[in-house]
Amino acid sequence: MSTGVNDGSGFQPTVGRYAGHNGPYLQTTPQLPRLPPLPVPQEPALTLSRHHLFGPTRERLAVPAPDHATTLPPPSSPHYRQQGWPAREFQFLGNTTNAIPYSQRYNPVSSPPPRSTRLVQGIRRFVIKYIVEWWLLEILSWIFSALCMSAIFGVLLYYAGRKIPNWPLGITINGFISVFSGLAKAALLLPTAEALGQLKWNWFRDGKRPMIDFERIDMASRGPWGAFILLGRMRGMTLPSIGAAIVLLAPPLDIFFQQMVSYPSAFVPGPTNGTISRVLAYDPLDGVNFRNGVKKILPPRDYSFAEQLLFTNGSALEPNFNCPTSNCTWEPFETLGVCSKCADVSQDVYFRCQNGTGEWMSNVSSTDPYPNVAMCGYFLNLPKSPPVFLSGYAVDASGKPGEAMSTQILSFSNTSSRLPLYGGSMRFKYVRSPIWDLLVSGTPGGIAGAYGAVKPEVNECIFYFCAKTVQSGAYWGRLSENVAKEVPLDASEPYPWIVVDPVKNLVRYLAEFNLELPSHGDQAALQNNTFFVSNLTAVKTALLIDEIAPSYVTALNASVAPLLKYDNALRFGGSLIEANPQTNPWMPPNNITAHAERLAATLTSTFRNTREGEGDVEMVLGIAWEEKTFISFRWVWFIMPVALLFFSLIFLVATVIRSSRDEPDVGILKTSTIAVLFNGLGKDVQEEVRPNCPISEVKARARELKVTLRASGISTPGL
């Protein structure tokens, strides 16, 4: 369409449009011949993967003009300056204020995009190529899972056998394991799920499969329940079943990670030391007592604890020790002490009725002459002495049983002259100058056993000075000592007593005791191992036994309570107390040997607890143990996570190889739901199920249909 205008120049101007030009132009007459069209350069279309689902498809960098379009050459073209062409002016109509230059409007090649745009496009291409259309994300996820497990392993290996660390914010080892095990498990499930999602496409590429397998494999990639169903439905070892097993076993991994660490308690040396006493020499102070106006030299006050064990079945006295942590140990050390031994001599006892002295009877004092009494019971047969009455009863003139004796303690030395009795020791003649040598007889059943002619239990017990090698330890505040070795002290005399005045029964104790043992250890307190007991200390200790040797348990008849007659030495007449067989340690059924050992241990502790100025006491240093909690790495629990990590790698590599082989036909779709929508069922399959069909009917039909994957979608060949 054109409109004529006369401008007085002889030309007829015409307004018109060029084909391919959007704006109006002003043309003068005469009419010019049509110019030949010039082709516009074109860019080829951007080729993308046919499986690309997320970017624009087939974008073009420039849109070519239609085939019928023409365009004019630019005004500067020499085409307009040929001879025969009149001068012409071109004027574009309309608003020319912001007119776009011709070169910009018709330049078919765009200018380069900004740097930021190129960066975004590069990242986008990288993501599409390596993450969306390949397995880089899954590989990195598996590596991250392996790093998390390695971090757990490294931390536990570093702290194994050490104390619990004090981390910032109160973070614990279990908290650290919980966080990293959760990350490891999640990172392990990602590649497994994506690989399972890819396998549901490759599964149908291999041939005809039940359509329901598509849902089963897809469910297996989403959680343990689906994996359990898939394992139950798929018989045999298939690649999807391996992935389902990994998905099923991954959730319980937290148990294995938490079981890797335990916190046992152990004792470590503390900053302070424990101390315990040992003694090299002992010299106690005397005790004094007056009875009936007569002065009596008593055993030292320190012996009061040992004195209690003469009449009661108590526990042994403990030596002085200090343990700041309630748990201490000391290296073995030697100390001065008292040792004991007992031997059974019951085989030398026999029953008979005969006359004998009645010093054992309750109404007889040691200051009175001993009556001659007819007795029936058990006697000890001694080679160099008359038989000794041990257990039985007196017989009156009519032959009826009278007072009975069930228990007695005798000394093998006379309490007045201190000379040997009964020919001396029966079983321990090799011990020089013992402190005490006792004969202990006890009848089972007590007084009733004595009336019933029950054979008594007879033991010889000997006590002597010795050096003890002791292994000590304090546990929860209670001291425990084990005597590893006992060495008797050497006596200066074979028998300690000599008679000074036979008429007045004046005697003197001459024996002294000493022993030197090799020193050991680094402590200064253990360098001196020379032990010594003076004759004065020895006699003070020996006099302690006079309270119970001799002593007797008697009863006037079987219906009255038995009495203990003791303290018969030194002419004080004796004392009577009620004899309770439950508390008297020398009466059956008590263990005589064990009680003798307790008495010896108490005397040893008495020596070690001596006060300053009364002996040579040293304090031995020991280790004070503190209870600390340590970390223990139970590596056997790490086998399951590592095995699952290894099999997941095998599964991922196998899936990558499989998907690379089938990529031309299947592509890499993984768990994408968009891929399901774009690569749906063929029409022949869709016609098998009516619209709005219930899901139960759909699943039933899916179990029957066998489908395969083709390039054009899923179809049912032959159906």
Pick the closest to residue 523 from 633, 618, 399, 627 (CA basis).
618
- Residue 136's pLDDT is 85
> In 3-state terms, what secondary structure has residue 170?
helix
How far is the CA of 706 from the CAs of 213, 218, 352, in angstroms? 10, 17, 112
pLDDT of the residue at 351? 95
Lookup: tokens for 29: 């007459």
Written as one string, the DSSP assignment of 372-439 is EEEEEEEEEEETTEEEEEEEEEEE-TTS-EEEEEEEEEEESB-TTT--BSTTS-SS-TTSSS-SEEEE
Distances in Å between the alpha carbon of 193 and those of 39, 389, 528, 643, 670?
A: 54, 98, 78, 18, 8
Q: Assess whether the previous peptide bond of 589 is cis (omega < 30° from 0).
A: yes
**Strands 327-329 and 287-291: what pairing?**
unpaired
In three-state form (DSSP H/G/I as H, E/B as E, the rest C), the secondary structure along 627-648 is EEEECEECHHHHHHHHHHHHHH
Distances (CA, A) of 574 to 269, 366, 569, 696: 55, 7, 7, 108
- Please tell me the predicted confidence (pLDDT) of residue 444: 92
Backbone phi and psi for residue 346, each to the nearest 5 degrees, phi listed first: -65, -20
Terminal alpha carbon distance of the chain: 63
- Name, in order, each residue with C-beta under 8 angstroms of 370's C-beta and a sequence gap of 6 or more: 357, 358, 359, 364
Is the N-terminal amide bond of 75 cis, ω within 30° of 0?
Answer: no
Question: Looking at 38-42, 290-294, 476-480, 612-616, which range is the least confident one?
Answer: 38-42
Q: CA-to-CA distance for 359 and 551, rounded, in angstroms?
A: 10
DSSP 136: H
Q: Is the pLDDT of residue 15 over 60?
A: no
pLDDT at residue 268 greater than cutoff 50: yes
Question: Rounded to an integer, what distance in angstroms lies between the CA atom of residue 194 and that of residue 656?
Answer: 11
The tokens describing 367, both together, are: 């200051």
Asked whether residue 226 carries a pLDDT value surpassing 90, the answer given is no
Within 13 Å of residue 709, how many CA atoms lie on the same side as its CB? 20
Chain centroid to CA 470: how far?
A: 33
pLDDT on residue 155: 93
Helix, strand, coil distribution of the chain in percent, nearest 5: 30, 30, 40
The predicted model gives 376-388 an average pLDDT of 89
Q: Residue 130: pLDDT band by 50, 70, 90 thresholds?
A: low
The pLDDT value recorded for residue 27 is 42
Exposure of 355 by Cβ count < 10 A (0-12 exposed, 13-18 middle, 19+ buried)?
Answer: exposed
How many percent of the chain have pLDDT more than 90?
29
Question: Tell me: the pLDDT tens digits for 137-183?
Answer: 888 999 999 999 999 999 999 998 888 888 988 888 989 999 999 99
* pTM > 0.85: no
Instruction: For 115-138, give one letter per residue: b (16+ CB within 10 A) or e.
Output: eeeeeeeeeeeeebeeebbbbebb
